[in-house]
Amino acid sequence: MPAQPAGETPPLDGSLPRSAGAGANRRGLSLYVHVPYCRVRCGYCDFNTYTAEDLGPGASRADYRANLAREFDLSTRTLAEVGAGDREVATIFFGGGTPTLLEASVLAGVMDDIRARYRLAPYVEVTTEANPDTLTPAYIETLARAGFTRVSLGMQSAVPHVLATLERTHDPAKIPDVSRWIKEAGLELSLDLIYGTPGESIEDWRRSLDVALGNEVDHISAYSLIVEPGTKMGAMVRRGELPMPDEDDLADKYEIADAAMTAAGLSWYEVSNWSTSALTRCEHNMAYWRNADWWGFGPGAHSHIGGVRFWNAKHPKAWSDRLLAGNSPAVGREVLGETTREIERIMLAARIDSELRLETLAPGSEAAIRTFLKQGLLDPAAADDGLFRPTLRGRLLADHMVRVLTEYVG
């Protein structure tokens, strides 16, 4: 797992500078709940996750809801102190780990705890990530009754040997049944896919796309495999036991994915995300990409309130010990300067379809935009309307365009 970022030590009580509350009524508020438990730790994953064998008293699943409630109380108090508390919560996202390793009644109880402390928007989006093998029709029905509106299903691949390389344990044959149960419960269905796994052929990838699109899916996230240092897969690549993903292969698979999704009626709205309509986009992720306010709860969770970024102790025991002592679980923070905030705004907005207005770019950026248009990286009609809309080729080179544009900032 990656190390925590460098930053200043926050106050033990978790208090924020008054500047964090400035203009809060003009910003949305989202909540992220990190559930760190997994049945096994996948070889490619560098998320902050733990198996039951990793944890002792105070850090187990049995203690989780009570500890979360303590952090909820701290957050509402902290937000109120800077004048940022009286806002509707627009989105809630349960991520992990595997949130659905918790009993459905526990997730429903956490939603009750949130409602007791926060004012939720009338059409609040509530998502949980899920492993297909943890779901049953009864489990999903409990989620629906508790106010969940979306399930983000960790499909990753439909091909057994690809899942085996990723060390994913679910049975891919269950995907159609679980997808149907989610839709029958009235929830939106999002599927997560990974492409570029060592040994995955083009036909393997097409097979995964066919299975995903064969369900009544509302949203698909497709991410290229990143071999992270410190993971089991990273060590295997370093030793030559697995090949590093090939950049040309990744680009080919992205283009295949975009063509398949377009043919099935899904449109891209962010470089790695497609939806059936604007109504089925992941609004929680849009809040991140728009640098809105969000509070992250749970071990290792990150938050961003009014230009202040802070992060919790990573290990569940360290997180719970701090809360039980009456302290904030935050162990580091950064107050973002104007230049950093502007760079991040461009980095994030440039990945979203027509989110970045050309008139908001730093002086001198006009030459770069003209070059991108000549290179076929931007849609000329959108540019005529003052909007930054990458073409298919531009999406593949989005990081390059961002690097160029941010050179003009500051």
Residue 257 confidence (pLDDT) above 80: yes
Reduced to 3 states (helix: H, G, I; strand: E, B; else coil), residue 150 is strand
Angle in degrees, 0-180, between the axes of helices 175-184 and 137-145, rounded to the nearest 10: 30
Please state, in angstroms and rounded to a whole number, the distance separating the CA atoms of residues 372 and 394. 8
Q: What residues does each domain of the chain span?
A: 18-289, 338-410
- H-only helix segments in 151-277: 160-166, 175-184, 202-213, 232-238, 247-263
Can you read off the two tokens belonging to residue 154? 């960790």
Give the pLDDT confidence score for residue 59 in this predicted structure. Answer: 75
Task: Give yes or no for a contact between 312 and 319, defined as CB atoms under 8 angstroms apart.
Answer: yes
Task: Give yes or no for a contact between 313 and 55, defined as CB atoms under 8 angstroms apart.
Answer: no
Residue 58 confidence (pLDDT) above 90: no
Angle in degrees, 0-180, between the axes of helices 202-213 and 175-184, rounded to the nearest 10: 30
pTM, two decimals, is 0.94
Please state, in angstroms and rounded to a whole number, the distance separating the CA atoms of residues 344 and 256. 29
Selection from 96, 105, 147, 140 nearest residue 126 by Cα: 147
Please state, in angstroms and rounded to a whole number, the distance separating the CA atoms of residues 294 and 26. 14
Selection from 43, 67, 65, 38 nearest residue 54 by Cα: 38
Give CA angle at 194 (239, 168), nearest 5°: 70
Selection from 110, 114, 94 nearest residue 36 by Cα: 94
Task: Give yes or no for a contact between 313 and 58, defined as CB atoms under 8 angstroms apart.
Answer: no
Task: Give yes or no for a contact between 55 and 320, defined as CB atoms under 8 angstroms apart.
Answer: no
The Cβ of residue 171 has, within 10 Å, a number of other Cβ atoms equal to 13
The Cβ of residue 283 has, within 10 Å, a number of other Cβ atoms equal to 23
Q: How far is CA 156 from the centre of its chain?
A: 15
User: In Å, how far are 56, 225, 304, 324 from 222, measured between CA atoms?
Assistant: 35, 10, 25, 39
Q: For the chain, give the mean pLDDT.
A: 93
The DSSP letter of residue 139 is: H
Mean pLDDT of the region 111-119 = 98
Residue 391 confidence (pLDDT) above 60: yes
CATH superfamily ID and name for 18-289: Aldolase class I (3.20.20.70)
Can you read off the two tokens belonging to residue 351? 């990945």
Task: Give yes or no for a contact between 20 and 308, defined as CB atoms under 8 angstroms apart.
Answer: yes
Residue 234 confidence (pLDDT) above 70: no
What residues form DSSP beta bridges with 127? 93, 150
pLDDT-derived band at 137 (thresholds 50, 70, 90) equals: very high
In a 13 Å sphere around the CA of 91, the CA atoms on its Cβ side amount to 22
Beta sheet of 219-224, edge-to-edge order: 267-270, 273-275, 219-224, 188-195, 150-156, 119-130, 88-96, 29-35, 293-297, 302-305, 308-312, 330-335
Please state, in angstroms and rounded to a whole number, the distance separating the CA atoms of residues 382 and 360. 15
Residue 42 confidence (pLDDT) above 60: no
Q: In the chain, pLDDT over 70 holds for what percent of residues?
A: 92
Reduced to 3 states (helix: H, G, I; strand: E, B; else coil), residue 341 is helix
Give the pLDDT confidence score for residue 395 in this predicted structure. Answer: 98
Reduced to 3 states (helix: H, G, I; strand: E, B; else coil), residue 230 is coil
Mean pLDDT of the region 34-53 = 68
Which one has a higher pLDDT value, 42 or 394? Answer: 394
Selection from 224, 199, 235 nearest residue 43 by Cα: 235
Give the pLDDT confidence score for residue 40 in this predicted structure. Answer: 66
